């Protein structure tokens, strides 16, 4: 088997890259170790920046998000028992974000790829990459079931020869793990708490804004997937388990962390998904190793506080797809040579914003007392300072791709 770009990972980053490359006439095959149903079962973020929306339009998969997505023009901050709105739309000259679940983005991209008859290999066993530091990289795996094309016989070892490998296989994927440790530098901060999140078929408490809460009990977040499906979170100890949190306990705790008026508006219902996620900041440098390029969670993780994970992956894909187009269509190596540097400049700005917002809103072991009052003072300054509110807003909607270039 041969292709121009082998993409490892069929999450939104890999699928989006494959779609953009196909639009440019660049052949690609995607290899994914999980089943399609498993990929679609992963519950992730649901806030899309304009850069991401533009890329979905370029990829030809923007129809449903335009129809079903909900525009958010503002942020609401709860602290000291009161709620304050920040006019993101007004402070950024008319920019906003779209609430639309990552699962739905993945579903749209899967459907588009299938309709085009493009090859995606699912349930790939023992995926390995090799020779990416030379001129003839390969991806190999044990033949699984196949979606979107007929590739070999089940149970046999398969090898895909390619010009380049795009590692879009997430934090625990094989691509970054295949890089020699001496060639890569990693930076990591692990936070001493987790997020307990539930998904429920109830109307959102605030249909036009995301609500962030800071209280002496800890962080809370009210977001949405649609006008009838909501996603809520509360900060919890990493030692907690889902079994310790009944739906009743969760709803009671969420209300305690909101202002009284908003707490009264919370509509409760049975959870359809409940999980606890640890928080970390992580960056791997560089993002290119010969003919292997990392994108998305394979190269970086941000706390979900700033809603940057999916959007950072999309900007990686933008830089990388443009670089491949320059290589194949213009015979220029500049985009590939500059990919890591360009992507990392944006990554670190998003890491800074996500770290800052996480530090501002959560209760840390040393936050009680003095620390809590300092957080409240900074939040009060934030909502009353036009300069500070503008800084928050422009980071929230996403900095331009060429910011600081």
Active site residues: 72, 212, 304, 308, 396
For residue 146, give the 3-state DSSP assignment: strand
CB neighbours (10 Å) of residue 166? Answer: 31
Are the C-beta atoms of 119 and 148 separated by less than 8 Å?
Answer: yes
Angle (nearest 5°) at CA 239 between 238 and 243: 105
CA distances for 296 relative to 55, 78, 91, 142, angstroms = 15, 31, 29, 25
Compute the distance between CA of residue 372 and CA of residue 375 in angstroms, rounded to an integer. 5
CA-based max dimension of the chain = 65
Residues 6+ apart with CB under 8 A from 387: none
Are the C-beta atoms of 228 and 397 separated by less than 8 Å?
Answer: no
Q: At what angle do helices 386-397 and 370-384 cross, to 10 degrees?
A: 90
Compute the distance between CA of residue 276 and CA of residue 198 in angstroms, rounded to an integer. 9
Nearest to 258 by CA among 194, 326, 202, 206: 206
Are the C-beta atoms of 44 and 203 separated by less than 8 Å?
Answer: no
């Amino acid at each position: 088997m041969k292709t121009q770009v082998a993409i490892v990972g069929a999450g939104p980053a890999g699928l989006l890259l494959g779609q953009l490359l196909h639009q440019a006439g660049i052949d690609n095959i995607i290899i994914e170790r999980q089943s399609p149903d498993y990929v679609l079962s992963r519950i992730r973020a649901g806030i899309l920046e304009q850069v991401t929306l533009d890329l979905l339009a370029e990829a030809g998969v923007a129809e449903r998000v335009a129809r079903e997505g909900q525009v958010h023009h503002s942020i609401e901050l709860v602290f000291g028992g009161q709620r304050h709105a920040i006019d993101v739309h007004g402070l950024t000259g008319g920019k906003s974000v779209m609430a639309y679940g990552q699962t739905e983005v993945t579903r749209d991209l899967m459907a588009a790829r299938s309709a085009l008859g493009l090859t995606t290999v699912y349930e790939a066993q023992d995926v390995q990459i090799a020779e990416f530091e030379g001129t003839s990289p390969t991806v190999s795996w044990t033949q699984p079931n196949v979606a979107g094309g007929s590739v070999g016989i089940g149970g046999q070892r398969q090898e895909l020869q390619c010009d380049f490998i795009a590692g879009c296989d997430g934090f625990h994927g094989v691509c970054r793990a295949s890089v020699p440790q001496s060639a890569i530098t990693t930076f990591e901060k692990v936070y001493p708490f987790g997020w307990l999140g539930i998904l429920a078929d109830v109307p959102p408490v605030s249909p036009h804004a995301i609500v962030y809460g800071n209280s002496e009990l800890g962080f809370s977040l009210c977001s949405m997937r649609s006008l009838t499906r909501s996603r809520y979170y509360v900060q919890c100890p990493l030692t907690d388990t889902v079994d310790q949190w009944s739906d009743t306990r969760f709803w009671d705790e969420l209300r305690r962390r909101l202002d009284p008026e908003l707490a009264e508006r919370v509509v409760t219902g049975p959870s359809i998904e409940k999980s606890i996620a640890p928080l970390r900041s992580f960056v791997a440098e560089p993002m290119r190793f010969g003919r292997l390029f990392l994108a998305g969670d394979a190269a970086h993780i941000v706390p979900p506080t700033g809603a940057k994970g999916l959007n950072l992956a999309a900007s990686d894909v933008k830089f990388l797809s443009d670089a491949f187009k320059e290589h194949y269509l213009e015979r220029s190596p500049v985009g590939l040579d500059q990919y890591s540097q360009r992507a990392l400049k944006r990554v670190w700005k998003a890491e800074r914003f996500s770290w800052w917002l996480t530090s501002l809103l959560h209760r840390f072991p040393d936050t009680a007392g003095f620390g809590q009052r300092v957080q409240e003072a900074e939040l009060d300054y934030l909502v009353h300072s036009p300069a500070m509110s503008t800084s928050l807003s422009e980071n929230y909607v996403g900095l331009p791709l060429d910011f600081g270039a």
